[in-house]
Structure 1
Amino acid sequence: MGGKKSDLPALGPPVGMQPFCVNLRTLLLLVLLLQEGAGQFHVIGPRAPVIALVGEEAVLSCQLSPSMDAQNMEVRWYRNEPFGLLYHYSTSQNYMEGLRPEYQGRTEFLKENITKGHVALRIHPIQPSDGGEYACFFESSIYYNKAQFQVLVAGSGMVPHIHIEPGNRRVIKLTCTSTGWYPEPEVQWKDHQGLHLAPTSETKTIVENGLFHVESSLTVDKSSRAEFSCVVRNLILGVEKGVHVSMADALFPEDCPWPVGLAIIFSLLAVVTIISVQLVCARKNKGKKERKKKWEIAFICEKLEDNRKLHEELGLAFARGFAENVTLDPETAHPYLEVAEDKKSVKAKKNLQEIPISSQQFDNLVCVLGKQIFSKGRHYWEVSVERKVRWTLGICKDSVCRRGEITVSPETGFWTLCLKRCNDYQALASSPITLHFEEPPEIIGIFLDYEAGRLSFYNVNNLSHIYTYRNCFTEDLRPYFYPGPLYNGQNEDPLTIL
């Protein structure tokens, strides 16, 4: 709710000339009513709750309506509960006094469009405690107003794991565990028909980082040969991760017929006999044979290493035979991205770009897609990431969601490789996989074999294989590019398709 900073003075009736007095009073009242609206404004914040991912960043955007210059205004961001000041800007100055200590060093004021009344506060990294009600407050010399909105913090945890342990003679205990979830997730057990099963016990605890660790147990009959699955679900993100176990495969059958039992026993005896004979022979020829064996093992190991490197080099050489002239599709680009005229490079900008709004455009994920659509065959392209401190590359389904907060993972239709921060390389699989390089890659090769269900990444600098996704592709796919945000003058170089 807005208000005037000071009341306007009351007007007294003029003296004398009564017929003219009525007209003059009416005129002054009209002027007063016009003046009351001058300088007033509304503050528009996020219309829907902002979904912020744990460990990532959230941008809390607010703007004035009608559009006006806010350089000489005071702008503040508050948390309503618990109450506290997050950021304070006043007439081109940033004030650090009185801020909540847990936000110091984690906030950045984005004022590139402040002359149009559009500003934002970036919070990074997001912590579980950041969820709640927020307000952004604007104050001019004569008026003030604010907007309130909600931030929902969410975290998608690890793929669950099922541990099998025997109970008594009749039952087996299945224990499903997973960690890294926020808020408290939902855990479900299902049988092979998809019917929900009631757990024997279930605990959900908050660990040191503020995220939830879940543990749920199910007791099943030992004679069962059915399949059971454990699914952990984040209701805010609409993301679920599951694992299943087949009791027939997991357990050695107890009711084994005696002929089968005898066959197993004789097989074990035969193996023991062969091993014994080999040990005796080995002892007789210990001297010369051992020296020869060591030389042979060293030779084989050397050849295996050579073959591995040769396979990787041949793999890249094979992939390059399917090189594509990949270009960028500006209609899919987020407004903070600038796509070059030749559509071969993209980089982040400080200001929103004046580009037409398109239904193909991402409104939150700061990325752009390739123009090409792949539904079959083999395709290869290379991207320069030299001097970049953050980037993500790969493919995604053409049908991926392009509105709101999006988790980049195979579950949502993305298969990517990224540099999150200095030397923190990851394959963004269902559970992110940390990758290690002897030397940081400057050129990434990407090879899609659609029918084989493989997406491979290569370090072109040393001709080495990085990582391969294996998936059954059934939809149209497009190249995916995320050049990363600007960081204090860093990351200004573009991602360039070679």
Structure 2
Amino acid sequence: MRPFSVSKSSVGSSSLLGYTIIFISLLVHKLDSAHFSVIGPDHPITASVGNEVTLACHLSPSMSAENMEVRWFRGQFSSVVHLYREGKDQYAEQMSEYRQRTEFLKEGLADGRVALRIGNIRLSDSGLYKCFFRSEFSYQEAALELHVSVSGTNPLISIEGYQDGGIRMVCRSGGWYPEPQSLWKDLKGQPLPSLPAKYFRDENGLFQTESVLIVTENSNQNLTCTIRNNILNQEEVSSVYIADSFFPKVSHVTVIRLSLNLLVLGFFIPLTIYCTWKQHKEKDKQRFQVEKEKVNVTLDPETAHPELLVSKDLKSVNCADITGEQPKDLDIVDSYCCVLGSERFNSGRHYWEVELKNKTMWHLGVCADSENRERYKNIAPEGGYWAIRLWNGEYKALSTPRTTITLEMKPTRVGIFLDYEAGELSFYNLCDDSHIYTFKYSFFGTLRPFFSPGIHGSKENAPLTICPVIDWQ
């Protein structure tokens, strides 16, 4: 019998097969471990204006994210809220409106748990956010919804005459976001039938509400008006009691007395409102006169649109004689023929004046300073612009949403006052010393004066001139 033997070729083939199996097993294990999903909250996150909020998400299965890229963004991938990459925070790509307001919480990175804290919450922060992870082999993301809300003022209840055989009661409140719920109740807390509530938005985008209830003598006389923010689960309540003497009687004497009372109230209430408005206007005027800090603003020709002509003294700008197709979207920077001021502001109070004369279109304000103007496309506070404009015979503040401005007199000279620390940018009509509009915003970074004497392709040829300091009286 021949002894059992194994050839060298057989041994070599077996070893190669074994190594191949081991390598494939390790590779499959590595690729399998590279696959993951991102888990976010299954419900919207709520936050109040001025407070802070934390947005959290995590990897499943649990694994380290220390060497991954973690990106928070809104809408487009390049709209970065916060970016963590190569083991540290990266701020070069961060949107300007989130600078110095975000903090990436890294305590749970080793387990794939991350959180982003956003401070000084604004209405514009409301919306959809994406939590994005990227490793060497895979990437995934999860969506989070942030609801920003504001609770407003205590309701003000007033008696405003008679209607449909009863007394017309009106409940008003302001400073809410989103639209609050308005409800009249009796002493036992039961809802009372009322007219549909009306809602209005003020210049800051907040809601004011007005609700009407008709109260008859045989109905409940103990009333409460409740304004409720359902997102924050908060409400403001005011109560009132209607005395019998306010209801109309058969006696003519009582009717006459009540009518006289209402006439007196009808006289003094508008008078009080007028006096309050007058005092507020005088206060604005005094504040404007006392607090203005004059600055000699000049134009920076390097920032001027190619269709603009800047004067040699850098004080005046005009549109060149170029005719083209006018833009369809006036909310995009490229639609404007604009130029920036040479001065840069990151603190303090600053005031300058601009001569408009008979111009039929213009834009005035400030904008965030950036070497990359592509990052500031949207003419709105969230896009880095705070400005007012005249176009097509209509004055508007370029807020979000846009605010239509009604003026008693056409301004031929406008005063612009920036109070950086107070977060206010105010515009004044110097023809009658009246207030035009005030932006209220928590400014950050450097701001520069912003001017536009027209739009691309316009035939506007009247100059826009920055007034010399010595001309101010």
Instruction: Give TM class, smaller chain.
Output: 0.3 to 0.5
TM-score (norm: length of structure 2): 0.44
TM-score (norm: length of structure 1): 0.42
